[in-house]
Amino acid sequence: MGFRTPGIGDRLRAAIGEGLRAQEPLRHHTTFRVGGPADWFVAARSQDQLVAALRAAHDLELPSFLLGGGSNLLVSDEGFRGLVVKNAIEDVAFDGATVQVGCGADYLGFIERCCDQALAGLAYAAGIPGSVGGAIYGNAGCYGQDIGSRTVECTVCTPDGLRVETLAASWFEFGYRDSRLKREPRALLSCVLRLERGDPALITAEIEEKLEIRRVKHPQWRIEPTAGSYFKNLPSGFEAPGLPFSPGTRRVPAGVLLDACECRGLRVGDAMVFAKHANILVNAGRATAHDVLALAEIMKARVRAKFGVELEEEVMFLGERPSVSTATARSA
């Protein structure tokens, strides 16, 4: 009997250790519940495992993608040809009002742990799904606040897994739903945030209030799969008569323009505009990425025709992007 040459799976497994999966359906890892399989997938539970996974992919010349909670992601129906590394590093260490947190920690769970320690400053964000790392990547926020303003420093790794370093918040150039990571990718491993002392009863009340507002206005993503707001609010400077600004920002909400174009309830296949919010797309059953992209094109075209402005996607696309013809949407 001859020896078998180790394949990619063997070599990845040797570098990463336990937990490597082949042909993992990515729809199981996104809140949109859309997307084909990743050739390879691992949920990395420690910094060493995550760095080893990125490095192994680099050595094997395999594309890699770092996944958080999958709440801002539309995955191609063909999936991803490479290794998806889910950040599952969740350690939390408190030191007075400063906290170090693993970037795979669930954001809401982390906010609740801060509340248990009588630490205020993040309750406004209760209900933003996903991980702490995903929040930092896109400088997630609402009500005019964002996570970047609480960030002190982050420990990151280069995408090839070759260098780990700690970068001060100023490096990240946080802006509206933006950080330098979108232009110079790094894997966020852990970060240090500065919060402030508060009254746990008041923090709990704010968390409950924010969750209730979302329960009323937003789809419950565990029941009605979605990736949240699909388009970015308009750049500051865009004004049209009678259009309001988003609370705390000088930006016109994309939803207002989409409402003016009567987008609520539009549907392509099982991709649908949420009945209560024109800037949220939901998966009403077995939506494909193609359905979602076709619906988004129709919405963009309507806004372009009426307001002469191009909406920009907030949700990111993973995998090979298909060309989409503007199929006819129907009203639900």
Ligand X SMILES: Cc1cc2nc3c(=O)[nH]c(=O)nc-3n(C[C@H](O)[C@H](O)[C@H](O)COP(=O)(O)OP(=O)(O)OC[C@H]3O[C@@H](n4cnc5c(N)ncnc54)[C@H](O)[C@@H]3O)c2cc1C
Tell me which residues touch ligand X (CB under 6 A): 31, 66-73, 87, 103, 128-131, 133-135, 137-138, 140-142, 177, 181, 187-188, 218, 221, 226-228, 316
Q: How far is the CB of 194 from ligand X (least distance, A)?
A: 19
Q: How far is the CB of 224 from ligand X (least distance, A)?
A: 9
- CA–CA separation, 332 and 266 (whole Å): 6
Q: One of 27, 55, 150, 177 is an active-site residue; which one?
A: 177
Edge-first strand listing for the sheet containing 271-273 = 226-229, 280-283, 271-273, 266-268, 330-331
- Among 131, 37, 22, 48, smallest CA distance to 86 is for 131
Largest alpha-carbon pair distance within the chain? 79
Phi, psi angle pair for 283, to nearest 5° = -95, 105
- CA–CA separation, 110 and 102 (whole Å): 10
Active-site annotation holds for 177: yes
The residue (of 6 and 112) whose beta carbon lies closer to ligand X is: 112
Active-site annotation holds for 76: no
Q: Tokens in use for 327? A: 């199929």
Active-site annotation holds for 229: yes
Q: How far is the CB of 115 from ligand X (least distance, A)?
A: 18
The residue (of 88 and 195) whose beta carbon lies closer to ligand X is: 88
The residue (of 47 and 288) whose beta carbon lies closer to ligand X is: 47
Report which residue's Cβ sits closest to ligand X: 134
The residue (of 47 and 71) whose beta carbon lies closer to ligand X is: 71
- Please answer whether residues 102 and 190 qualify as being in contact, where contact means their C-beta atoms are separated by less than 8 angstroms: yes
Q: How far is the CB of 50 from ligand X (least distance, A)?
A: 9
- Among 269, 207, 292, smallest CA distance to 32 is for 292
Q: How far is the CB of 227 from ligand X (least distance, A)?
A: 5
Q: Tokens in use for 6? A: 């180790």
Strand, helix or coil at 42? strand
- CA–CA separation, 30 and 33 (whole Å): 5
The DSSP bridge partners found for residue 196 are 120
Q: How many residues does the chain have?
A: 332
Q: One of 112, 173, 224, 314 is an active-site residue; which one?
A: 314
The residue (of 238 and 317) whose beta carbon lies closer to ligand X is: 317
Q: How far is the CB of 7 from ligand X (least distance, A)?
A: 26
The residue (of 71 and 76) whose beta carbon lies closer to ligand X is: 71
Within its chain, how far is the Cα of 10 from the centroid? 31
Q: Tokens in use for 203? A: 């923090």
Please enumerate in sequence order all residues whose Cβ is within 8 A of that of 2, keeping only pairs 6 or more positions apart, or say none: none
CB-CB neighbours of 259 under 10 Å: 15
Q: How far is the CB of 240 from ligand X (least distance, A)?
A: 23
Q: What is the DSSP letter of 106?
A: B
Q: One of 179, 190, 229, 264 is an active-site residue; which one?
A: 229
- CA–CA separation, 87 and 302 (whole Å): 38
Catalytically annotated residues: 177, 229, 314
